[in-house]
Amino acid sequence: MLDVTQAKLKPAKIAIVGGGIAGASVALYLSELGLDITLLEKGPSLVNGPPICHLHAGGNLYREISEQQCLTLLAQSIDLLRLYPYAADYRPTVVAVPKHDKGTPEQLLPRLKTLQTEYERLINLDPLNKVLGESQDYFQLFDRTELECLALQEPLDKPQTLAQWMIPVAKNADLDKLQFPLIMVHEFGLNMFRLGASAALSLEANTCCQVLTNSTVTRISPALPGSGWLVDYQQAGLNKQGEFDYLINAAGFRSGLIDDLLGFKRPRLVEFKAAYVSRWTECDCIWPEVVFHGERGTPQGMAQFTPYPGGYFQLHGMTEDITLFKQGLAASTEQSAQPKLAEVFLNKIDQSWTEPEIIKRTNRAIAHLSAYIPSFSSAQIGAKPLFGAQQIPGGDPTLRAADVSFVGDNYARCETVKASSVLTAADVILQKLISTGLVDKKTKALRSFPVSERVSEQVITLRAEALTKEREFPLSFAHINSTKP
Ligand SMILES: Cc1cc2nc3c(=O)[nH]c(=O)nc-3n(C[C@H](O)[C@H](O)[C@H](O)COP(=O)(O)OP(=O)(O)OC[C@H]3O[C@@H](n4cnc5c(N)ncnc54)[C@H](O)[C@@H]3O)c2cc1C
């Protein structure tokens, strides 16, 4: 452990490996506290890993997870919205249970009521937590008669009420295939280009943080026994080295490679998954997100319809022909903390997809959604897929709310499964830094971020537009349909 008197003389030097949403957000949090942060990211920009499109503010997409995970995701999502208010698309989500499904909408209601009560409690604790609207509006039920009335109305450019948001669904969904009521819940969209832009701009504005992009960590060794780390990295073909008091591994699905460099064991899973981008030019109205529940891994797996501006829709279908892949889930072994994904998936991540694969899987995704929204069958391929490998610490593939683990006094792993968990992860790391004497014990967990708050929405939009160009996605992906109320 570092000598406490020594620590008081200069702020602890902390290296974070990986500039995805986890590493970038922990860097933002710790640099707002004035700590000396170096963020090392292999790629050219931040938050460029697997997609992030949904704010799981209650975990209502997942029937299989525990109520406790849903409550955790709710609280964490509220925190994330407070950190990145301009990265969310403030439109609700419809949850529909098809008639062929074994579940019923009624089974979902007790959990929704618990979440509503918890949201109210969080607002009472701190009024600034009211980021999902009024607690009594957290969710609303719609029966068939109401939907048939809404189907007669024209969709609005700026829907205000949940009923107005429901009009496109009422007009276009095949109601004969669905059980009632339909549920509309305040789970918003998350835009990864705007998340990347918000994080990068905040970090650039903070003199305590050095962001090193195009920098791959290749070797880590102890500086002196128990006192810190020497981190070797390659930047633009040059070998460089930095010395740090503390190391945070936020390398996403490659966190196991960093553990392997240090000889640390860790059970974990990684799962390769993909979402597809369609363009529906006939559609000229603003949609909520729509989720049709289904049994994961079967041909009727959950279908998720995520709107972007410009008639673009991101599609998930939880079948092995669409979002999931045969052998797409890999586990770590006794020999290595890094699960070995098959070469075919690593090639997709590091290089690209073939054109026939993109066409085949995107068309299947369009067909999967058209079963519930028949007019959507006229949609076309809109862009390349959004995909990647998601890390899951431990051995339970249904785990959704995860954050940090530690080895000794100067190494943390930040392994979030969902973007919303990043502030919890930062809180836990802060507590560890306090307990090891690297940070003053009077330091409090942060929920306001003065440097970040000075970055304007317009500047975030411009940077997000630049990221869509750099990554070859439609410009509309930098924009949102519905702004913060
Ligand atoms: C299809 C799909 C859909 C998803 N949808 C959602 C969603 O709607 N909402 C949600 O919350 N989550 C979603 N997720 C999960 C989400 O994408 C991940 O949880 C999240 O991206 C993890 O962030 P991360 O920062 O931990 O990892 P990553 O984003 O993978 O970041 C890790 C970074 O580390 C860098 N790195 C790795 N090794 C090194 C090294 N040696 N040196 C330097 N840098 C290194 C990588 O380049 C990378 O940028 C989805 C995942 C998938 C696959």
pTM confidence score: 0.96
7 has a pLDDT exceeding 90? no
Ligand 1 atom at minimal distance to the Cα of residue 418: 11
Residue 323 in 3-state DSSP? coil
Ligand 1 atom at minimal distance to the Cα of residue 50: 17
The confidence band for 484, taking pLDDT boundaries of 50, 70 and 90, is confident
Q: How far apart are CA 211 and CA 349, in angstroms?
A: 23
* Side chain identity, residue 233: Y
Residue 443 in 3-state DSSP? coil
Please give the C-alpha separations between residue 364 and each of 236, 261, 361, 381, 385, in angstroms, as whole numbers. Answer: 40, 40, 5, 11, 13
pLDDT tens digits for range 69-115: 999 999 999 999 999 999 999 999 999 999 999 999 999 999 999 99
Residue from 164, 173, 6 nearest 92 by CA: 164
Ligand 1 atom at minimal distance to the Cα of residue 23: 25
408 Ramachandran zone, left/alpha/beta (phi>0; psi -120 to 50): left
pLDDT tens digits for range 268-312: 999 999 999 999 999 989 999 999 999 999 999 999 999 999 999
The encoded tokens of residue 279 equal 């363009």
The confidence band for 116, taking pLDDT boundaries of 50, 70 and 90, is very high
From the CA of 2, how far away is ligand 1's center (Å)?
31
Q: Which domains does the chain have, with CATH numbers?
A: 4-49+193-266+397-478 (3.50.50.60), 85-108+121-189+268-393 (3.30.9.10)
Please give the C-alpha separations between residue 435 and each of 187, 409, 429, in angstroms, as whole numbers. Answer: 36, 9, 10
* Ligand 1 proximal residues by C-beta, below 6 Å: 17-23, 40-43, 48-54, 56, 190, 216-217, 250-254, 273-275, 387-388, 390, 416-420
Of all protein residues, the one whose alpha carbon is nearest to atom 41 of ligand 1 is: 217
pLDDT above 90 as % of the chain: 92
Residue 91 in 3-state DSSP? coil
* Side chain identity, residue 187: E
Residue 83 in 3-state DSSP? helix
Q: Residue 95 forms beta bridges with which residues?
A: 183, 291
For the chain, count helices (H), then strands (E).
Answer: 13, 20
pLDDT at 226: 66
From the CA of 185, how far away is ligand 1's center (Å)?
26
